[in-house]
């Protein structure tokens, strides 16, 4: 008998939709084990159904009551909720919004989705890589893997940015000069100077990618926020 597929809901609540297209790019990698429900691949998705995992992309506009209540429905509909991409995870570039943009100039305040609901995993990235999303989902199903601790701990971080990397790793002397942060930055806001990264503040969009890519920062984060990651346990329900 064919193995039952894991039911995954994808909802985009705001932002540039770059992370929504990341989910689309990840679909071919997931088809064998996961059944993906997303408005980007079917006409409508029901929040009255039950899902094993919900993937939420985009940050939440606190001035948009409809989206805020949709987010609460998503939490009720899914065993596990993962915030995918920097806007959902930490607000990212939308933290710079101050309203006045069309078509809804009254929308002023965007926040990470954890401002409204409890989130089990957050994966920053602008956008994250499809292979990383696949690994996280597989780890959640199998109940093992490094990504569980990494992204469950990340769900407890209040904020991520190049400043936090500087404060926690570079200025404390923990940096080993590997350059992973510089390579991961989508805006070239980090540059190596004398074998250590330095931040160009005006280029930092607060996406948090450098922090989770840094081997030192990610270890610190896991140590600080180690929690029991919520998993499905061998393909069943959480």
Q: In this chain, which of 55, 206, 229, 231 binds ligand SF4, going by CB under 6 A?
A: 206
Q: 72 and 80 in contact (C-beta within 8 Å)?
A: no
Where in 159-188 is the site for ligand SF4 (CB under 6 A)? 161-162, 165, 169-170, 175-181, 184-185, 187
Q: 5 and 27 in contact (C-beta within 8 Å)?
A: no
Shortest distance in whole angstroms from residue 34 CB to ligand SF4? 28
* Of residues 145 and 215, the one with the C-beta less far from ligand SF4: 215
User: Quick one: tokens of 177?
Assistant: 């000069």
Size of the site for ligand SF4 (CB under 6 A): 30
Under rule CB under 6 A, residue 214 binds ligand SF4: yes
User: How is 85-102 classified by DSSP, letter by letter?
Assistant: SHHHHH-GGGGG--S--S
Which residues are CB-contacts of 143 (< 8 A; sequence separation ≥ 6)?
A: 231, 232, 233, 234
* Of residues 94 and 161, the one with the C-beta less far from ligand SF4: 161
* Of residues 94 and 184, the one with the C-beta less far from ligand SF4: 184
How many other β-carbons are positioned within 10 Å of the β-carbon of residue 94? 23
Question: Mask 217-236, x = binds ligand SF4 (CB under 6 A)?
Answer: x-------------------
Shortest distance in whole angstroms from residue 134 CB to ligand SF4? 22
Shortest distance in whole angstroms from residue 184 CB to ligand SF4? 6
Under rule CB under 6 A, residue 154 binds ligand SF4: no
Q: 154 and 122 in contact (C-beta within 8 Å)?
A: yes
How many other β-carbons are positioned within 10 Å of the β-carbon of residue 126? 23
Q: 191 and 200 in contact (C-beta within 8 Å)?
A: yes
Q: Is the dihedral of CA 76, 77, 83, 87 positive or negative?
A: negative
* Of residues 75 and 203, the one with the C-beta less far from ligand SF4: 203
CA atoms within 13 A on the CB side of 230: 16
Angle subtended by helix axes 146-154 and 215-225, to nearest 10: 70
**Quick one: which of 230, 233, 212 has its CA closest to 222?**
212
* Of residues 141 and 190, the one with the C-beta less far from ligand SF4: 190
Under rule CB under 6 A, residue 205 binds ligand SF4: yes
Under rule CB under 6 A, residue 91 binds ligand SF4: no
Under rule CB under 6 A, residue 208 binds ligand SF4: yes
Under rule CB under 6 A, residue 216 binds ligand SF4: yes
Under rule CB under 6 A, residue 190 binds ligand SF4: yes
Q: Which residues would be at the binding site for ligand SF4 (CB under 6 A)?
A: 161-162, 165, 169-170, 175-181, 184-185, 187, 189-190, 197, 199, 204-210, 214-217
């Amino acid at each position: 008998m064919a193995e039952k597929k894991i039911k995954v809901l994808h909802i985009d609540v705001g932002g540039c939709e770059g992370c929504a297209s990341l989910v689309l790019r990840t679909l071919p990698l997931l088809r064998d084990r996961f059944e993906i429900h997303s408005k980007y691949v079917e006409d409508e998705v029901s929040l009255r159904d039950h899902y094993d995992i919900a993937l939420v992309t985009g940050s939440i506009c606190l001035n948009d009551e409809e989206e805020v209540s949709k987010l609460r429905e998503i939490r009720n509909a899914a065993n596990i909720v993962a915030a995918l991409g920097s806007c959902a995870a930490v607000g990212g570039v939308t933290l710079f919004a101050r309203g006045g943009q069309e078509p809804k100039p009254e929308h002023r305040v965007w926040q990470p989705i954890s401002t409204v609901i409890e989130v089990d995993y957050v994966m920053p990235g602008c956008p994250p890589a499809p292979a990383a999303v696949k690994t996280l989902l597989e780890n959640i199903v199998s109940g093992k893997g490094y990504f569980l601790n990494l992204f469950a701990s990340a769900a407890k971080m209040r904020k991520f940015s190049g400043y936090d990397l500087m404060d926690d790793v570079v200025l404390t002397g923990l940096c080993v000069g590997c350059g992973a942060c510089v390579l991961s930055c989508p805006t070239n806001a980090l540059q190596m100077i004398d074998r250590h990264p330095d931040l160009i503040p005006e280029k930092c969009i607060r996406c948090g990618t450098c922090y989770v890519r840094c081997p030192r920062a990610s270890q610190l984060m896991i140590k600080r926020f180690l929690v029991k990651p919520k998993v499905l346990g061998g393909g069943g329900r959480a």
